[in-house]
């Protein structure tokens, strides 16, 4: 403690004068990690969640709202487009996070980019394309923009106190907290965001279906949303694999996924496929690159050429086919093996009163209706207040109508200007506001005709006030207003679906029909874990196999591309793959290092490879202590596409050798003590449990272990009955020194 105080004293001397006014500056304080996270990370995380990444009930993030409100203030709802750079510069009055981020936001909201089902920004110039990774937008100084007509629905009555306003970052301007949107924009346009510790992924829905569903919900809260809101709809089109049960689950929980695939047409004259829409989760470049990869690895052999022919008319990927190719079967294969068919993951996470909530569609609509009801209520109250103020002024003017001459006389005979209003108040029994209004009337308007025209409004105002008050007192009338507005939105902006719906069962059937390349290949597996797949034609033309220094081939298997591969490792694990997943090789190359390709754990090595199509036969695990385990290969077959199986064999004993047999045979064991034992695999019990320890087969003396385990062919040893036994375990027998056949076994 003394040393600590001394250090603090020294630091006090060296501390700048400015720091002397900061309490505790320079001191070292012990603080737990949990307290640091609470005091530093949690406020940051909440700031990202609330102020950046997660949309609110009006369907916008703060960056969207700041940009669109700036454009609204600039009068861009009407008139012609202006340079995007001008808009970006003005937006920095509300959003000081750099012009690049603002322009990127504008690009995504624009018609030219095509990311939204109903864009809010009308664009002119190159704004890139959402379906292309390489087609970038032009710089802000070259493009132009304005608000699209549908944006009028975002700002309807925003100047009538429908939403709250707050100061901008430097308190020089006001900006809205939310937009008083007249339809559920949160569901109409896709919105994705990644915050700290949570994310949001909201797919887009058809505007007409959303509005009709909202109207149906307002009339009856117990509706089934899926009856009117059929399925998501994307600006890029495509086909959605429709499963009613799956869609209803997403609507109920706000989580889940569905599959979307691209659409195509077949040009019979040119024998080519034209892909004209793709899933919203991918790009044309990603699809082309994957197809090229599959063609190079010969997993797809029906394609001559693929190219991107996208132009001003829209997206198009053209695939030239080889003669005789069945285009439907090829497309089924492409849907299965490329991003041309992809899943869209839903996570309907929305901020409600600054609190993130994952909600189902019905709950989102309920929250929006509550929000919109409050907007309508505030608008009606605002108009009611204005009407009451107007009525109050006209009531004062009505008093003057009784005696205009008296009013003129009071004004004329008042000695000082400041006494005019008080004298009018006394003379006609009106309040100060009414008297001020009367005093400001021009002399030319002090005629009976002008005053009578103004007074005609009193009766109409009283009716209007009564009607507005009844609206405020009735929820049903407010809901009727919302319903009328939604019906008007449908008339103005409703469009037919862009994304077609196809049965998910059709996709499952077509996937089963995808042909798999079953051409023959020869597999080579080396001691150091290198793998080669060589076609018969290449093998006939090959010379000596190239290997790493000190390495050697330990397995050579005649197989085919449709076989499964199982790689047993030193860590009691199995990594599953397929022969077709490896590229064709040559004798002149080292091959592919399996540990890297299949992402082995650190320090893990391959010990044995199995190639199988039907998972027939069994595995035989020989351990150093003379125990042998026999496991059916079918125990390693899985229904799902699991790539890694743990506890593939017993880890209690040190593994010596692994075999895969399709039928029973003899194996010969030799221990380090020289004894040999011939055992038929049928005498070893077959156990389905992969990690069973097997049975003791060859007993070992202290310090001895299994030295060799090989397949034995009858007749290779003289007096081979000496090495067989009826009972297990057995110690085995010592061979005769003059047994010539012994040398042939190379044991």
The CATH number covering residue 573 comes to: 2.120.10.90
| Residue 490 main-chain phi, psi, to 5 deg | -60, -45
d(CA 424, CA 657): 114
Contact 349, 358 (CB under 8 A): yes
Q: Left, alpha or beta for 116 (phi > 0: left; psi -120 to 50: alpha)?
A: beta
Same structural domain, 533 and 413: no
Q: Is residue 396 part of a domain?
A: yes
Does residue 459 carry a pLDDT above 90?
no
Question: Catalytic one among 21, 103, 131, 142?
Answer: 142
Q: Give the structural domain span for 144.
A: 60-180
The residue ranking higher by pLDDT, 7 or 111, is 111
Q: What is the CA radius of gyration of the chain?
A: 40
Does residue 7 carry a pLDDT above 70?
no
Quote the number of domains for the chain: 5
Q: What is the mean pLDDT of residues 517-542?
A: 87
Same structural domain, 64 and 24: no
Does residue 600 carry a pLDDT above 50?
yes
Cβ neighbours for 666, distance < 8 A, ≥ 6 positions apart: 678, 679, 680, 681, 711, 712, 713, 714
312-364 pLDDT, tens per residue? 888 999 999 998 888 999 999 999 999 999 999 999 999 998 889 999 999 99
The residue ranking higher by pLDDT, 3 or 692, is 692
Torsion angle defined by CA atoms of residues 433, 434, 436 and 440, in that order, rounded to the nearest 10 degrees: 140
71-89 pLDDT, tens per residue? 999 999 998 999 999 999 9
Same structural domain, 13 and 78: no
Does residue 511 carry a pLDDT above 60?
no
Q: Is residue 231 part of a domain?
A: no
Does residue 10 carry a pLDDT above 70?
no
Report pLDDT for 22.
66
Q: Residue 605: how many CA atoms within 13 Å on its side-chain side? A: 7
Same structural domain, 482 and 544: no
Same structural domain, 151 and 267: no
d(CA 50, CA 180): 19
Q: Is residue 254 part of a domain?
A: no
Q: Is residue 252 part of a domain?
A: no
677-713 pLDDT, tens per residue? 999 999 999 998 888 889 999 998 888 999 999 999 8
Q: Is residue 243 part of a domain?
A: no
Same structural domain, 324 and 398: no
Q: Is residue 616 part of a domain?
A: yes
Nearest to 571 by CA among 616, 613, 634, 529: 529
Q: What is the mean pLDDT of residues 401-410?
A: 80
Same structural domain, 25 and 133: no
Report pLDDT for 406.
85
Same structural domain, 532 and 462: no
Domain end among 124, 145, 180: 180
**Facing residues of 443 across strands?**
none
Cβ neighbours for 510, distance < 8 A, ≥ 6 positions apart: 328, 332, 335
Q: Of 286-290, 413-417, 427-431, give the range with the top mean pLDDT.
A: 286-290
Same structural domain, 680 and 533: yes
Report pLDDT for 509.
47
Residue 584, SS3? coil
List C-alpha distances in Å: 541 to 176, 489, 554, 586.
Answer: 75, 71, 22, 9
Cβ neighbours for 304, distance < 8 A, ≥ 6 positions apart: 320, 321, 322
Q: What is the CATH number of the domain that holds 118?
A: 3.90.199.10
Nearest to 70 by CA among 112, 100, 98, 102: 102
Report pLDDT for 408.
82
Mean pLDDT over the full length of the chain: 87
d(CA 253, CA 347): 9
Contact 586, 657 (CB under 8 A): no
d(CA 101, CA 96): 10
Q: What is the CATH number of the domain that holds 325?
A: 3.30.1360.40
Q: What is the mean pLDDT of residues 206-232?
A: 94
Same structural domain, 176 and 70: yes
Same structural domain, 622 and 741: yes
Residue 583, SS3? coil
653 catalytically annotated: no
d(CA 48, CA 58): 18
% of the chain exceeding 70 in pLDDT:
93
Same structural domain, 118 and 75: yes
Contact 636, 648 (CB under 8 A): yes
DSSP-assigned states of every residue in 326-369: -HHHHHHHHHHHSTTEEEEEEE-EEEETTEEEE--HHHHHHHHH
């Amino acid at each position: 403690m003394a040393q600590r105080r001394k250090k603090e004293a020294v630091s006090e001397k060296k501390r700048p004068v400015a720091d002397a006014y900061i309490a505790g500056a320079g001191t070292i304080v012990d603080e737990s990690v949990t307290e640091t996270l609470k005091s530093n990370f949690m406020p940051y995380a909440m700031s990202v969640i609330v102020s950046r990444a997660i949309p609110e009930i009006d369907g916008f993030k703060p960056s969207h709202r700041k940009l669109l409100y700036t454009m609204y203030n600039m009068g861009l709802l009407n008139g012609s487009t202006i340079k995007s750079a001008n808009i970006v510069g003005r937006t920095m009055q509300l959003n000081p996070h750099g012009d690049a981020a603002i322009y990127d936001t504008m690009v995504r909201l624009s018609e030219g980019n095509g990311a939204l089902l109903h864009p809010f920004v009308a664009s002119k110039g190159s704004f890139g394309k959402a379906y292309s990774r390489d087609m970038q937008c032009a710089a802000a100084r070259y493009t132009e923009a304005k608000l699209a007509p549908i944006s009028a629905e975002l700002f309807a009555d925003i100047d009538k106190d429908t939403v709250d306003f707050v100061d901008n970052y430097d308190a020089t301007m006001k900006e809205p907290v939310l937009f008083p949107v007249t339809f559920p924009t949160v569901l109409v346009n896709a919105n994705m965001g990644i915050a700290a510790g949570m994310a949001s992924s909201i797919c887009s829905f058809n505007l007409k279906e959303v509005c009709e569903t909202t109207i149906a919900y307002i009339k009856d809260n117990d509706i089934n949303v899926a009856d009117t809101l059929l399925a998501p709809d994307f600006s890029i089109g495509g086909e959605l694999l429709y499963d009613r049960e799956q869609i209803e689950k997403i609507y109920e929980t706000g989580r889940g996924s569905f599959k979307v695939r691209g659409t195509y047409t077949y040009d019979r004259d040119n024998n080519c496929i034209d892909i004209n829409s793709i899933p919203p989760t991918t790009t044309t470049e990603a699809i082309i690159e994957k197809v090229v990869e599959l063609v190079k690895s010969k997993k797809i052999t029906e394609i001559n050429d693929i190219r991107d022919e996208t132009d001003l008319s829209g997206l198009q990927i053209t695939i030239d086919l080889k003669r005789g190719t069945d285009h439907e079967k090829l497309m089924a294969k492409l849907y299965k093996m490329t991003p041309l068919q992809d899943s869209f993951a839903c996570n309907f996470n929305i901020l409600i009163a600054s609190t993130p909530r994952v909600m189902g569609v019905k709950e989102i609509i309920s929250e929006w209706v509550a929000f919109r009801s409050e907007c309508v209520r505030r608008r009606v109250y605002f108009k009611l207040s204005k009407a009451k103020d107007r009525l109050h002024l006209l009531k004062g003017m009505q008093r003057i109508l009784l005696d205009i001459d008296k009013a003129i006389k009071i004004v004329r005979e008042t000695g000082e200007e400041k006494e005019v209003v008080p004298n009018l108040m006394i003379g006609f029994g009106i309040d100060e506001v009414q008297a001020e209004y009367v005093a400001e009337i021009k002399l030319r308007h002090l005629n009976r005709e002008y005053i009578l025209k103004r007074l005609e409004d009193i009766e109409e105002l009283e009716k209007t006030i009564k009607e507005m008050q009844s609206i405020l007192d009735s929820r049903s009338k407010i809901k009727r207003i919302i319903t009328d507005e939604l019906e008007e939105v449908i008339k103005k902006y409703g469009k037919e679906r862009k994304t077609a719906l196809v049965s998910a069962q059709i996709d499952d059937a077509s996937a089963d029909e995808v042909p798999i390349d079953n051409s023959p290949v020869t597999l080579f597996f080396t001691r150091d874990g290198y793998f080669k797949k060589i076609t018969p034609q290449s093998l006939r033309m090959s010379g000596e196999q190239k290997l790493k220094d000190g390495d050697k081939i330990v397995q050579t298997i005649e197989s085919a591309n449709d076989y499964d591969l199982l790689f047993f490792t030193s860590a009691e694990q199995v990594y599953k793959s397929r022969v077709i997943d490896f590229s064709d090789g040559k004798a002149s190359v080292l091959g592919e290092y399996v540990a890297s390709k299949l992402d082995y754990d650190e320090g893990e090595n391959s010990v044995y490879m199995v190639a199988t199509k039907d998972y027939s036969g069994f595995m035989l695990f020989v351990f150093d202590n003379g125990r042998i385990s026999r496991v059916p290969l079918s125990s390693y077959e899985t229904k799902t596409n699991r790539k890694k199986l743990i506890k593939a064999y017993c880890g209690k004993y040190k593994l010596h050798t692994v075999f895969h047999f399709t039928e029973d045979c003899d194996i010969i064991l030799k221990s380090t003590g020289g004894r040999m034992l011939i055992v038929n695999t049928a005498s070893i019990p077959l156990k389905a449990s992969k990690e069973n320890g097997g049975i003791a087969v060859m007993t070992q003396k202290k310090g001895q272990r299994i030295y060799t385990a090989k397949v034995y062919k009858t007749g290779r040893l003289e007096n081979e009955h000496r090495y067989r036994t009826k009972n297990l375990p057995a110690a085995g027998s010592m061979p005769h020194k003059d047994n010539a056949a012994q040398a042939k076994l190379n044991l």
